[in-house]
Each structure stands twice: as structure tokens, then as C-alpha cells.
Amino acid sequence: MGPLGEQRGDSSAEIERLQARLDEQEQLLTHFLSRASHDLRGPARRIQMLVAMIQEPGLAQADRRKILGFLADTAVNLKEMVEGFSALHGARSRPLRASPDCDTRSCAQAALEGRVLLVQGLEDLPVVLADPNALVDCFTALIDNARLWSGQGDALELRFTAEALDGGWVVGVLDNGTGLTDPQQLSRAMLPFERLTSEGAEHVGLGLSLVATLADRMGGRAWAEQGPGLHVRLWLPGVPPCAAHEG
């Protein structure tokens, strides 16, 4: 094949790659809109029902206080949902500035600031090509997710992992919780509005999708693995292994 044929082949492969990427984004948007519509109906119906109940004549004062408490909880849930929408929109639209010497150790330490946790592996974190602020947000979301759903409470332990792969780095956050053993749950973990556990407080289910969105915008990707705890890993463009920290 001559140079012209090779160029056409490269162009065709790039078009196919872009089309696959477009199809993936369209599926993600469809999933988001469908789940958002479903999730917003729940609190709306609950508020409507509670307002009708509180307007009942002769309602006992104790019952009125209980209903007001349910209304307050529903309002908090709606507020968290709106804040989640805003954070996800920001992750998709805010300008990002990739730095060729983004220090993942410093980003992880910034996300850990003010938290009392047992942490391992920080010394092994590398330098990558990424937006430092976006990477701090990724680590913050992963730490928050682990605190909420690992089931470990104050006994939560985190281990940061790193390995060179395909011209970049896979950086991970592993907790000491029970994790997920169902492959289908793991495959859905990064999608918006996916609630992979019914334990604990009601939650929106947008934290890990924010991580996936930011990783994608930085030219990388994010996924979840069984750890034994939950191990969320990000592949990010990087620099040769010799640029990693040496302790």
C-alpha cells in the first residue's frame, strides 16, 4: 500500500473511532436523561403526598411534626440531586488545562486534607498529563464514595495504586470495604444515577460518574474493579516511568 492508501486507511480508522465515541456519548446521554426523569418524579410525588397529608383537618401535632420531618428530608434529597446535576454539568463543561507534570501525589493529598484516614501508597503515585484541579475533584469523589459505601465507617482504609500502561498511568483508589462481586454492577458503577447498594442513606448516585466524566475529558478513562474492596482505577496519559516519584 502506498502513502495515499495508508493515509486513507488512517482516516477511515479515525472516522470509525470518532463514530464509536459519538455512539457511546449518545448512549450515556440517553441513560442520563432517562434516569434523571425517573429520579426527579420520586421526590415530586413524595412532596405532593406529604403536603396533602399535612393539610388533613384534625391532624395530630405529633403527626404534623413527623410529616414536616419527611418533607425536610425530601428537600435535602432534592438539593443534593440539583447539586449533583450542577457538579456533573461542571465536569462536562468547565475548561480544563492539562499539565504535563501533574503530580498525582499532591492531588491526592489535597483531597485527603482534613480527613483522618489510614492511607497507603501515596509515595508510589506518578506524574501524569492531567488537569490538577480536575484530578483533585476525582480523588475527592472517590474518597467520599468510599466513606459512604464501604461499610467501614471510622475503620476505613484507603490504598492508592499506580502502574504504567499503554503510554500512561493507571492510578487507583482501593478501599477495605466489601466491594462489588457482581460483574454487571461493576460495569454500571460509573454510570450516572446508579445506586449499587441499598444500605445507608438515600443518595443520588452521581459521584463515580463525575470521576468517569473528568477522566474522559482528560483523555483517559475510569472503571471499577473488585478489590477485595471497591477499586476504582483511572488511566491517564502520562510520562515515562522514570518520572514517577521515587519515594
Chain position carrying cell 483522618: 116
Confidence of residue 247 (pLDDT cuts 50, 70, 90): very low
Each residue of 45-59: pLDDT tens digit? 888 899 999 898 889
Each residue of 202-231: pLDDT tens digit? 445 677 888 999 999 999 999 988 877 889
β pairing state of 221-226 and 230-237: antiparallel
The answer to whether residues 120 and 229 belong to one domain is: yes
Domain hosting 39: range is 3-93
The answer to whether residues 155 and 204 belong to one domain is: yes
The answer to whether residues 212 and 120 belong to one domain is: yes
Q: Find, among 33, 98, 52, 50, the residue nearest to 236 by Cα.
A: 98
The answer to whether residues 117 and 156 belong to one domain is: yes
Q: Following DSSP, what letter does each residue of 46-85 receive, concatenated?
A: HHHHHHHHHTSTT--HHHHHHHHHHHHHHHHHHHHHHHHH
Chain position carrying cell 483517559: 220
The answer to whether residues 114 and 221 belong to one domain is: yes
The answer to whether residues 42 and 138 belong to one domain is: no
Kindly report the pTM of this predicted structure: 0.71
Q: Where among 32, 64, 93 does a domain terminate?
A: 93
Confidence of residue 126 (pLDDT cuts 50, 70, 90): very high
The answer to whether residues 86 and 115 belong to one domain is: no
The answer to whether residues 234 and 126 belong to one domain is: yes
Q: Where among 93, 127, 147 does a domain terminate?
A: 93
Q: Find, among 202, 198, 118, the residue nearest to 153 by Cα.
A: 118
The answer to whether residues 41 and 106 belong to one domain is: no
Q: Where among 29, 64, 93 does a domain terminate?
A: 93
Chain position carrying cell 485527603: 112
Contact status, residue 226 vs residue 174, Cβ threshold 8 Å: no
Chain position carrying cell 471510622: 154
The answer to whether residues 131 and 196 belong to one domain is: yes
Q: What's the total number of domains in the chain?
A: 2
Q: Find, among 96, 226, 233, the residue nearest to 161 by Cα.
A: 233
